[in-house]
Structure 1
Amino acid sequence: MSALNLPFDIDDMVNRLRPWITCESPTFDAAAVDRMMDVAAFDFATAGAHVERIPGRLGYGGSLRARFPHRDFGAPGILVSGHLDTVHPVGTLEKLPFRREGDLCYGPGIQDMKAGNFVAFEAIRQLVRAALVTPLPVTFLLTPDEEVGTPSTRELIEQEALKNRYVLVPEPALADGGAVTGRYAIARYNLRTTGRPSHAGAALAEGRSAIARMAQKILEIEAMTTDDCTFSVGVVHAGQWVNCVSSSCEAEALSMAKKQEDLDRGVERMLALAGEAGDVVFEVTRGVTRPVWEPDQPGTMALHAVARDIAREIGFELTHASAGGGSDGNFTGALGIPTLDSIGVRGAGLHTLNEHIEVASLRERAQLFAGLFTRLR
């Protein structure tokens, strides 16, 4: 039996995907992420994989490594690198329940990237059931913190990738169904303003508002955006009582650039904003960074060529592009390891209450992964 003709039953796949989606797993809830790892671990174990649970650190959940039996077990092979954390807090299922409506299927984290991980798993599960042997051993590494920049598992991902020939990342497909063969560099920043508290009614003039200063700085930061490097502030926390001048405000910012040197200059500009004015201190601390994954690396393009040929047999054209938005492919691609990213399912609305996938892409992408598992050497 050809790998592309394996019995990928869409109705069955939707039913078995359900537990992955209904187990909510926001990054900052380590216990919830660990519950999701339990769900995946059971499925991998029943498929015949050697499953390892790797403890979490820095307050995040743990990771899961699953390796399938192979005559060359332990030799360099194929790494599927994915994450099981999502941006959706526990309780999102009440607003975005798992449901299938015609050609679409909805749920928190279904597009980014639980369904992608699931179809890669389904591909190897069906290969094992059909007794089809892959030329190379296959390893899955599923991690808990990608949505916040992978602060606790970057080293784990890089070390696992260095032991393998290829890395496949089942992040959501591009809008046209294409893959990602390069990614922009990204830096995160923690911002803090410290002012002076006072009663907002009786002694307003005595206070120095950390919120007001942060608001000014946010406008200044976002005004630094150019075609070469973008800046945005996405998180702000401050205040508890409206009748108090807030003495503390915290925020998080992000910068992104196509070239590493542009990001490095952006980091310098951001750090240079720190200082004191009007009795309010503004602090900038650099957070996690994703290195640029330069596009058109020969190994990655050769990997894409194999995937493109498989896709044509399936019946679609697998385009490729360099993309913004970080993934763990930044790390493996920057190491020079042939990496093919965003070969997960088709869909839209990721990170929103309209997150959904195209149901037909479950079979399409499972076929793609099965083809890659059986043809890469």
Structure 2
Amino acid sequence: MSFDRDHVWGGVVTTPARAAYAGFAAFGALWGVWGALLPAVREQAGLGHGQLGTALLFIGAGALPAMLLTGPAVDRWGHRVTALLQVGLGMTGIVVAVTGHGFVGLSAGLALLGAVSGAADVANNAAAASAEQASGRPVIARAHGVFSAAVVVASLAGGALRGAGAPVVVPFVLAAAAGGVAGLITLAASTAWTRGPGSVTATPAWGDRRPLPLLPLLVAGTLVALAFAVENAHQSWSAVYLGDVLSAGPPLAAAGPAVFAGAVALTRFATAGLTGRHALVVLVAGALTAAAGTAIVAAAGHVAVAVTGLGLAAAGTAVLQPTVFGLVARRVDEADRGRATGVVTTVAYLGFLAGPVYVGQWAGAVGLPGAMLAVAAVAVVLALSVPPAVRTIGGRQAPVRRCRAG
């Protein structure tokens, strides 16, 4: 059975690669809406900044255990699980918008959102990795580019709807619709991922699985965690930085995260073909570019210079996660794809959570420009860590697959 076989759904031809793109588009739509509507959600819940910060921690609390549980589920039941999670993610956004009144209600909704989102993250990445390995195309990098583009579009659309007076729930309903479409596309293509006796990478019986080699997966997850720490530091603090340090007005300050996400999307589309062939060079160059861009932000005396630095930092971080996931994809048996992706994604998510907190702690001690220099230092550490990490992951070796004669 070919993993790249065409399937027809509603008159539209789809493949596992296109299903992966649809899943990442829905994922980006939900989080783009969330970013744009966060002030409105906070207002609806009646929370102060401190209470909101505490409530947001429940996203991580829900995500981390769900990530570890999802990988085995995908390995066991295939990408029907992915389709279900894509639909569920959009529905969960509606639940948060409807029930997020008061600290307890919002925190409970965010824990649920974190759990479903973390699970969908693992499942989507596993789907993209499977499609990339089977098709030989740079699906992972392009899928992450689709995610970033969807974040930009959805955040702008969500802000416009809110500005037009639409209720908080309306943008989340549209994001849920995107999740429903993605789920249907993934379900239609899921037979191409079916692992039977005639498939390219047939799965052994559930009880025959061997233990995963954890060290390479933990190293890969740590690399992505460092990349996520830099990326989310900018995404979370760039608007505050432009406003507080450079006295940008609200509209101009709000452009910071959009510029960052847009630069990430463009870079991922432009460099998708490079990440697999030149992983070591791409990772080192990306980390150093992110460090340089962040240093420019720290030294900027004008908004235009800071935004230029943000774009450069975005271009650097954009190539990091897809490249590492591509290295792992080439080393992991198809039968273990979900579990391996779950381990890497869970470790990586710790960096995503830590990045904004790291900036906050340094900002309290040395101010926001100094905090940006501390973020640049993380990127330098990442660059220095790449060569030994790539050797540990085994990125220079040929991929290993379990194959059976069909």
Provide the TM-score with structure 2 as the length reference. 0.27
Return the structure number with greater helix share.
2
Return the structure number with greater strand share.
1
Provide the TM-score with structure 1 as the length reference. 0.29
Whose Rg is larger? 1
